[in-house]
Structure 1
Amino acid sequence: MSLVVEEKPICRSALGQILLECRGQGQPRFASSMEEAIDEISIAKPSVTLVDLFTANYDFQKLKQLVVHAKPGMVIVVDDRVTPAFASLAKWAGAAGYLTKDLDVEAFKHAITTAIDGGVNFPADPSKSSNAQTQPATRGLSARQLEVLGQLALGKSNQEIAEALEITTGTVKTHVHTVLTLIGARNRTHAALIAGRSHASSIVR
């Protein structure tokens, strides 16, 4: 049994149909929020759970909790497009893969099947490349710094970041300053652009 966590009905149906066509997956169940997803997992114990990052409100701590609840089943994250910082955080949270909606259907199904078979479903590790210029600016950031960068990419203020991550605004200011320095960003807007850059061959640590 599988589970789709997606708030938009049309996207929910599309992801459910794709799962139905994957080997060994029966009729999926659905949840429109992370809270509903945890309830569904506790009842049904799905072998595969697809989680839309927007539906998860880009809350990677909650995603990590969901991964723990889902075991021994796996959680695969779905994003609109490749965002290295978010892919890194999904990996940190314990997700089995990070897929994007700009894949065609066959590639998407293949990626899910690969994960079911125990394969890796994250963009390749650029740190293994001999060309340092291909390495992402986010490489080397801590999990918390990546979370802050992810919030910056969403255009959130320090107060909003503090509320989302349950830390003080003073701590947020410190993290923002450190992140800007580490990734070489001129300002918050530049940091958001760096976080949101899509690299077809680029991928996370």
Structure 2
Amino acid sequence: MIRILLAEDQALVRGAIATLLDFEDDFEVVAAAGDGAEAVKLAMTLQPDVALIDIEMPKVSGLEVVEQLRTRVPTCKCIVVTTFARPGYMQRAVKAGACGYLLKDAQVEELAAAIRRIVAGERVMSPALMVAAMESANPLTEREIQVLRLAATGQTTRELARALSLSEGTVRNYLSEVFSKLNASSRQEAIKIAEAQGWI
């Protein structure tokens, strides 16, 4: 029996997935969490075989849940199930430790087959996103991503410099490099491009 934890903030979607998976003879949905913090807590307590995790959840994001479970519940295989068809999100999910990345428009048979394959030791990624990921590799460095992610919160250059323990000139240099790589003319445009790709 494959024991499954669901982490999905929309109650209707959470209930529908749980019901559909329970029809499978070799699956048991042992818990369903409505936010990321609850998902981590339940996983640590119940030690499921698989966790199906949405990306955007309250308290703790899905990507953070994947990262935490990799160290706290290493036997649990994490599968991101999301509406976000963004190559950058998939790349970040894999880097965080996800064994699968599937879109919510997949058929339940596809999801069930993916769960079984992942439990058997495979990785399963959305084929369409795999192609898109190869075509649109993230050109930004980790530091540039960090600067842009903080800039997206609305902080000024001075505030960014203070938060990152850098000089204002260095922050401006990082932003200038980001603009160049993304072919953006402003901070807002760079943020919009990076968010659309799932890079920040």
- TM-score scaled by structure 1? 0.70
Does the 8 A contact of 1:85 with 1:146 survive in 2? no
Summarize deviations over 1:61-80 as a string: whole Å, max 9, x none: 45311332221111111221
SS of equivalent to 1:141: coil
The secondary structure found in structure 1 opposite 2:184 is coil
Aligned residue in 1 for 2:71? 68
Question: Which residue does the alignment assign to 1:162?
Answer: none
Are the structure 2 counterparts of residues 38 and 61 from structure 1 closer, same or farther at C-alpha, using a change threshold of 3 Å? closer
Query: Does the CA contact (< 8 Å) of 1:145 and 1:179 recur in 2?
Result: yes
Map Cα deviations across residues 40-85 of structure 1 (whole Å, 9 max, x no partner). 1121100000111111654634531133222111111122131111
Cα distance change, pair 58–38 in 1 and its aligned pair in 2 (3 A): closer
Q: 1:168 maps to what in 2?
A: 163
Q: Offset at 1:178?
A: 3.8
The residue aligned with 1:8 is 10
The alpha-carbon deviation at position 13 of structure 1 amounts to 0.9
Aligned to 2:100: 97
The equivalent residue for 1:19 is: 21
**Alignment-mate amino acid for residue 141 of structure 1:** L
Which amino acid is 2:122 matched to? G
Return the alpha-carbon distance in structure 2 between the equivalents of residues 98 and 147 of structure 1. 23
Return the alpha-carbon distance in structure 1 between the equivalents of residues 196 and 185 of structure 2.
15
Distance in 2 of aligned mates of 1:127 and 1:81: 13
Unpaired runs of 5+ in structure 1? 129-133, 160-166, 199-203
Q: Distance in 1 between matches of 2:51 and 2:76?
A: 8
Deviations 1:113-139 (A, max 9, x none): 3222222222455599xxxxx62052x
Q: Which has the larger displacement, 181-190 or 42-51?
A: 181-190
Q: Look up the SS of the partner of 2:98 in the other structure.
A: coil
**Aligned length, in residue pairs:** 184
Which residues of structure 2 form unaligned runs of 5+? 156-161
How much is the aligned-residue C-alpha RMSD, in angstroms? Answer: 3.6
Q: Which whole-Å CA distance do the structure 1 matches of 2:67 and 2:84 have between them? A: 21
Partner of residue 135, structure 1: 135
Partner of 2:153: 157
Match of residue 184 from structure 1: 183
Largest Rg, 1 or 2: 2
Number of the residue aligned with 1:164: none
Do the aligned residues in 2 keep the contact of 1:2 with 1:46 (CA within 8 Å)?
yes
**Following TM superposition, by how much is the alpha carbon of 1:189 offset from its aligned partner in structure 2, in angstroms?**
3.5
Aligned counterpart, 1:48: 50
Pairwise CA distance, 1:15: 2.2
Report the AA paired with residue 154 of structure 2.
N
Distance (whole Å) between structure 1 residues aligned to residue 54 and residue 63 of structure 2:
12
Instruction: Quickly say closer, same or farther: Cα 1:24–1:192, change in 2 above 3 A.
Output: farther
